[in-house]
Amino acid sequence: MEFKNETIRDFSIEKERNAIRLALNSIEKVLPFTIPISIGNTQKFSTNHFVHKNPWSPEIVVSKVSLSNALDLEEAIKISKKRGNLWKERPQEERSALLMKVAEKLVSKKDWILSVCIWETGKHITEAEIEFAEAVDFCRYYAAVANDQMLPKNINLLGEDNLYYYQPKGIVASISPWNFPMAIFTGMCAAPLVTGNVVLTKPAEETSATAYEITKCFWEAGIPKEVFHFLPGLGSEIGEAMVTHSEVSVINFTGSRDVGLSIVRLASQISPGQRSIKKVICELGGKNAMVVDADADLDVAVQAILSSAFGFQGQKCSALSRLYVHNDCFKKLKERLMASMEDLLVGSPLDFENRIGPVIHEESYLRLLRLQKENESFLTGITTQYPKDGFYIPPSLYEPPPDSSMWSSEIFGPLLSMKKISSFQEGIELANDSDYALTCGVISRNPKHVQEAKLKIDAGNLYINRGITGAIVNRQPFGGGKLSGTGAKAGGPDYLHLFVEGKTFTENTMRQGFSRDTIQ
């Protein structure tokens, strides 16, 4: 099964823009989306709802999400235990083929799913297109890897047969974030499903409509509803119930550091009736740096900084937050960066000329406003033209002192800190001086410095002379270390092994006579 990355459309072409506009403009007529709970073949609506508002027009309600609870979880697990073995026992080739059908189903609904995502998140059309392609890639890639790596392996000797095979871990709780509701949600569900596990998925409350549209593609492609349950709700309620349930074998989580570490603590406690040690897979964010060398190509540097720090309003775990620039080019780069920031077009993603949209919701908006106010004395540059209605935070550049929390705390917004360095080696030391180790960038034309960076920078994904966001499935398996996570590399050849256990059968084939009742 050959893997090939999904094609990215070019929205500079008028025909492509017009096609997606039809879908985008149709969304408002059907709002709000009413999102159900789906347990096996039963769909139901809760009297308790989470209401999500549109980020650029907060007077518009995008979705009303039914909130599942512990009783719903018990029902889903009861069905899973009854029907899970049928899914587990299906040949690997069949499960992989179904995942390929999921990819086809996603592509057939591409413009609709993209549009739902944009209305929920405020994501720019090009970024949404790239994210959608990643979702499709996850399905196709994991299907191919499963066929290549998960099939049984025989080592047969004279008088002895040995079989090594992979067994799914069981029931997987998939708890996904709002910032990549197509790609991360899809990948976190596709991997455990293709390896034969049952999946209980809890999408982020803010993007449950996007997640539900994708979930329907799984079901329509043939993934049984009895092994893929949709349980939207609050992390503090249904999320915690999943983590602590004795029948849940794996917790697959992407989100904040505080929540992730609390999951690790909770999962370490053995619940009554629990018979396995829970596996926790966590991707917990970053405080990502870029080092700009003395001989850097400043055209490359400016473009890499803008896309890495301000793409999707900085709401990426991989986003650039700490910028270290060599003294020799600091002044010139700073001037060019500030001028470029002033030219950024901020506004609704329905206008494709805009490059920066709103942040996800009022909570983030108010938190970022507070950070801006607290650090206004360190402000160096800012994008001054932006809408005053909606949850817009202008891209901002700061030069805070070394003891400022802006150098250590994940911000998850378009706020970038900049510092002058006297040597490339100092830049490496500062880049490594963090609790996180997710992404990092180096802009340099010095081969020795590039090699030094490869050897010394502690990051899961190091990018050289380009932006530090936008990992592509198979090309750049994504995930970091330290407090950025447990080291899982999504979109890489090792990821599926997190959801299976190896098992060995050995049989002595040197017969010592025959059992009487087998002789006819």
DSSP letters for 145-165: HHHHHSS-EEEEETTEEEEEE
Beta strands 42-44 and 37-39, pairing class: antiparallel
Question: CA–CA separation, 80 vs 199, rounded Å?
Answer: 9
452 assigned to active site: no
Q: What is the mean pLDDT of each run of 10 residues along the chain (520 residues)?
A: 92 92 96 98 96 98 98 97 94 98 98 98 97 98 97 91 96 98 98 98 98 98 98 97 97 96 96 94 97 98 98 98 98 98 97 97 98 97 96 98 97 98 98 98 98 98 98 97 94 97 94 67
pLDDT at 408: 97
pLDDT at 514: 67
pLDDT at 219: 98
Question: CA–CA separation, 416 vs 7, rounded Å?
Answer: 31
Cα–Cα nearest to 231, from 199, 255, 253? 199
The DSSP element (H or E) to which 105 belongs, if any, is helix 92-108
CATH class of segment(s) 14-284+500-504: alpha beta
Q: Which residues, 6 or more positions from 495, have their beta carbon under 8 angstroms from its beta carbon?
A: 142, 145, 191, 477, 488, 489
Distances (CA, A) of 48 to 36, 178, 202, 212: 11, 20, 16, 18
Burial, 478: exposed, middle or buried (Cβ in 10 Å; 0-12, 13-18, 19+)? buried
pLDDT at 229: 98
Contact assessment for residue 226 and residue 199, using Cβ atoms and an 8 Å cutoff:
no
Cα–Cα nearest to 69, from 240, 206, 185, 203? 240
pLDDT at 515: 67
pLDDT at 513: 67
Query: What is the Cα 206 distance to its own chain's centre?
Result: 15
Beta strands 379-382 and 436-437, pairing class: unpaired
Degrees to nearest 5, angle at CA 488 with 482 and 492:
135
pTM of the model: 0.96
Cis amide prior to 32 (ω within 30 degrees)? yes
CATH 3.40.309.10 residue ranges for the chain: 288-464
Catalytic residue among 117, 139, 317, 440: 317
pLDDT at 511: 73
How is 397-411 classified by DSSP, letter by letter? EE---TT-GGGTS--
CATH 3.40.605.10 residue ranges for the chain: 14-284+500-504
283 assigned to active site: yes
Catalytic residue among 6, 131, 134, 283: 283
CATH level 3 topology of 288-464: Aldehyde Dehydrogenase; Chain A, domain 2 (3.40.309)
Question: CA–CA separation, 189 vs 194, rounded Å?
Answer: 9
Question: CA–CA separation, 464 vs 500, rounded Å?
Answer: 34
Q: How many residues does the chain have?
A: 520
Residue reference for tokens 């512990």 = 70
pLDDT at 520: 60
